[in-house]
Structure 1
Amino acid sequence: MFQILSCGSNGSCQLGIGEENDIDQNSLVPALFEGETSGQIAYKPKKIVCGGNHTMILFENGDLYSSGDNTYGQCGYTEQIKSGIFQKVPGQWLDAACGWEYSILINSNNQVFVCGKGLKGELGLGTSVTETHLTELFAVSGKHIIKVKSCMNHTILQCNDELWGWGSCRKGQLGTVGNVKVLYTPTKLQFEGLENCEIVDFCLGREFTIIQTKNKLLKFGKLILDSLPEVPGSEVGTMWSSIHLFKDRTINSFGNNSHGQLFPSDDSVPAERMSLGSEHGLILANNVVYTWGWGEHGNCGVQTKRPADDVTFDYLNVLYSGSHKVVLVGTGCATSWVVIEID
């Protein structure tokens, strides 16, 4: 059995801890699931993705649950309500991604579905569709999809060695696809310098995209950096305005540090896993979960080194140190997630 603990922004019940608790949380609270009263769930979570005010949790058995603001259908079901607990999205799913008010879902047949609201092409359904419940995106359905990722207003889908994307590209975050500010339908992307390169991974920031090849990083869009760092063998991740390289249990960060977003360089905790949210991060080390960055909504826990009203965590703050084994950590838009295994 597993238990999913969360803290942080919760004004729309995106933590899934009950409608009566729709306020920000600065300590971990168990998420609740429809049909379960114990606060535990049988299947292991595989991935946690978060929009501005909604959350989706994908499980290893293909189940997908969501909670939070569903005003535009971004939670994947039809009720126009704010869900206080996690409810099951019908179907069997392979992957999911969330933007600000929309979600992208891949089912077991490699069909791509979109839902929610997008005024800047986020739904990929053309200029006339800005809100929808679950709708198939036929332009990319049926391809051999490797992964999908979204940020605020843009989405990239990897199909073998091809990248397809849609949404806002006013800063160049979707490459060189003509002099346009929005891609309203899925488009095969062209990135200068990526020709004949094998794609290892990619990640999205608020107005930029980072593409990782075997030998280099490529940056597209708006991200203030003096230069791109070397990457061989590193795991690359992004916040809204920074990038982070994880290798040999150490993390090196580059970009915006206005609220401690860059990994504290004077901390020597040997990280085993890293997860990055909008402007904060989590690491797992020796079954302890630490957090750092912008903790405005309680997502970094309770301050231990600064006044309680200071939202900058420029040090590693302990978020979880319990006896149960941590099997997954996740982050969202000012939310933090810790999945533990219950004996």
Structure 2
Amino acid sequence: FLGECAIKCVGANTYGQLGQGHGEDQFEPQCSSHGLQRSLRVITGGGGHSVLLTESGDLLVCGQNHKGQLGLGHTSDVMTFNLCPLPGSRTVHQVSCGWDFTVILTDDGQVLACGSNAFGQLGISPQIKHTAKPLLIKSLGDPVISVAAGLRHALAVTGSGRVYQWGTGLSTQARRLLTPQPVPVHFTSKEPCLVPGLDQETPHRVAAGSAHCVCLTVSGAVFLWGCNKHGQLCSTESFLALPTLLDQSLVNGEKVSAIYSGWTHLVAQTESGRVLTWGRADYGQLGRRGPSNDSAVAGTDVSYPVTSLPFEVRTLNGATQIVCGSEHNLAIVGNQVFSWGWNEHGMCGDGSFGDIIQPQLIPTLKSFKALLIGCGAGHSMVLCCQKNSEGFVS
């Protein structure tokens, strides 16, 4: 993606997370100041930082850095994308951002982390409160194939089919909602802890929200655990201590090919390309009119719409990419970018600050071909190239 391509960024920018050299929020997509001399394969972000992963396995970072979450060896915010050097000249396979930390999976299956460790979310010694240099998580024995950062916890899948969890971000809800049951150790461990209950399956990918966990298996099954206050775990229980299989009838008996998580909602795509959403609905993050509470969740008292039943969003069927921010989302359908959900900082890119209830095209990007999308908690990023009268610019 060389030459004529650009990263267009929009939304919250207090810490320079849009990579535009300043700290002003943007309500319509504007070019990042990064010249993009290299091709990209992942764009993602956290609470106030952004990360680009290049095809060659390099990381480019910008934004909030008060806990060292950019991995640059210092704690000053950065307004334009900078190369993040990794120890041992490692190259990166996957990267995932939490609120104020970053989890990095290298091509050789090692996991490094940087940023805040206040909740043990880095998976390293609890004596280290934060680190501005990416540190190796040594207690993950087997090579890792997938990682996910939640708000204050993280997950990893090993090549041997084990799922590990660390960080205490879910422990408060667990103690409150599971009493008098004991809280399983995987919710309270500050170093990687084996998640039980997945022995009969082959885990493939993980995702994480503010207080829940998701695992997609090779067979297309979905397991969910953690806090269910917003119906995001498709259960009437308030908290699921162990991975619980999503009833396949809720997705019309299809295998799930991909699953994505915001803080309190989930988006799944089935093998036929259908897109379904469920969970918290008050910002329009489900891409459809907010339902009345369609199922009571035990032990919770919510005054806003939630739905614990997956429901198809037909506009998104056949999407080639989907990403979730905290409460907003982006999707590429037919080379065009759709946005929906929370829009307080203008991150849906339509020029307004009103929440977007149903997926809509981002107006100023209609003349571009979208190649790659990414979200932070309150910002959006699109790698795109300009169309011309004869087609797309190469």
TM-score norm. by structure 1 comes to 0.87
What is the aligned counterpart of 1:182 among 184, 188, 196? 188
CA contact (8 A) 1:147 1:158 kept: yes
Shift of 1:285: 1.8
The separation in 2 between residues aligned to 1:210 and 1:112, in whole angstroms, is 19
Mean Cα deviation higher: 255-264 or 240-249: 240-249
Q: Partner amino acid for 2:123?
A: G
Matched, 1:330 2:374: yes
Q: Report the equivalent of 1:30.
A: 31
How many angstroms does 1:183 deviate by? 1.4
How far 1:238 moved relative to its partner?
Answer: 1.4
Aligned residue in 1 for 2:342: 294
Deviation at 1:141, TM superposition (A): 5.9
Deviation, 1:6, is: 0.9
Gaps of 5+ in 2: 176-181, 236-245, 289-311, 386-392
The answer to whether the aligner puts 1:100 opposite 2:99 as a matched pair is yes
Q: List aligned pairs for 1:12-51, cutoff 5 A.
A: 12-19=15-22, 22-33=23-34, 40-51=35-46
- Paired position in structure 2 for 1:235: 258
How far apart, in 1, do the equivalents of 2:115 and 2:42 lie? 20
Aligned CA distance change for structure 1 residues 257 and 105 (closer, same or farther; 3 Å): same
My pick for the range that moved more, 234-243 or 259-268, is 259-268
Residue aligning to 1:268:
315
Contact kept, 8 Å, 2:278 with 2:286, in 1: the verdict is yes
Aligned CA distance change for structure 1 residues 250 and 135 (closer, same or farther; 3 Å): closer
Name the amino acid aligned to 1:202. V
Equivalent AA in structure 1 for residue 201 of structure 2: C
Give a deviation string over 1:155-198, Cα, whole Å, max 9, x none: 1111110112210241459xx984575311122222x3x22112
Compared CA separation, residues 116 and 127, structure 1 to 2 (3 A): same
Q: Identify unmatched segments of 5+ residues in structure 1.
A: 34-39
Q: Does the 8 A contact of 1:110 with 1:142 survive in 2?
A: no
Indicate the percent of aligned positions where both proteins have the same amino acid: 25
Counterpart CA distance in 2 for 1:179 and 1:322 is 49
Measured on the aligned residues, the alpha-carbon RMSD in Å equals 2.5
- Give the direction of change, closer, same or farther, for the CA distance of 1:296–1:113 in structure 2 (3 Å limit): same
1:278–1:163 CA distance, 2 compared to 1 (3 A): same
User: 1:137 is matched with which residue?
Assistant: 136
Task: Describe the shift of the 1:239–1:116 C-alpha distance in structure 2 as closer, same or farther (beyond 3 A).
Answer: same
Q: 1:94 to 1:269 in 2, by over 3 A?
A: closer
Which residue of the partner structure matches residue 281 of structure 1?
329
Aligned residues: 327
What's the offset of the Cα at 1:107? 3.1
* 8 Å Cα contact 1:111-1:136 kept in structure 2: no
Mapping 1:37-186, distance limit 5 Å: 40-91=35-86, 92-140=91-139, 143-160=142-159, 161-168=161-168, 169-170=170-171, 171=173, 178-179=184-185, 181-186=187-192
Which stretch shows the higher mean deviation, 278-287 or 206-215? 206-215
Deviations 1:79-123 (A, max 9, x none): 331111000011432222211111122334433222111211112
Matched with 2:14 is 11
**For residue 95 of structure 2, what is the amino acid of its counterpart?**
A
> 2:322 corresponds to which letter in structure 1?
M
Q: Distance between the aligned counterparts of 2:77 and 2:315, measured in 1?
A: 41
Report the Cα distance in structure 2 between the residues aligned to 1:107 and 1:201, rounded to whole angstroms.
15
- Indicate whether 1:252 and 2:296 are aligned: no
**What SS is found at the alignment partner of 1:268?**
helix
User: Residue 269 of structure 1: CA displacement?
Assistant: 5.3
* 8 Å Cα contact 1:62-1:93 kept in structure 2: yes
CA distance in 1, matches of 2:374, 2:349: 14
- The CA distance in 1 between the partners of 2:108 and 2:183, in whole Å, is 29
Letter in 1 for 2:43: I
SS at match of 2:315: coil
Instruction: Give the Cα separation in 2 of the matches to 1:166 and 1:110.
Output: 17
Displacement of 1:73 in angstroms is 1.2
Comparing 40-49 with 53-62, which one deviates more in the overlay? 40-49
Distance 1:321 1:301 in 2: 9
Cα distance change on mapping 1:298 and 1:200 into 2, 3 Å:
same
